[in-house]
């Protein structure tokens, strides 16, 4: 099994995404990573839209 090291900031963001009932939405680590990346991309796009206005 591979070991993945993450910094404190990333750990906090991950925990925010999977807290509560959301933890059951991820049947595998890959599913979690895919969802987390998608959510982060959406956040970045929304921030860019706000900056352009």
Calpha distance 14→6 (Å, rounded): 10
Q: Tell me the mean pLDDT in the region 4-23.
A: 74
Q: Given its phi and psi angles, is residue 9 left (phi above 0), alpha (psi -120 to 50 degrees) or beta? A: alpha
Q: Tell me the mean pLDDT in the region 13-37.
A: 72
Identify the DSSP state of 21: G
Percentage of the chain exceeding pLDDT 70? 72
Query: pTM of whole model > 0.85?
Result: no
Calpha distance 7→20 (Å, rounded): 22
């Amino acid at each position: 099994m591979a070991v993945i090291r993450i910094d404190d900031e990333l750990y906090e963001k991950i925990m925010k995404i999977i807290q509560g009932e959301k933890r059951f939405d991820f049947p595998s680590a890959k599913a979690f990573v895919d969802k987390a990346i998608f959510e982060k991309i959406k956040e970045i796009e929304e921030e860019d839209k706000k900056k352009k206005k």
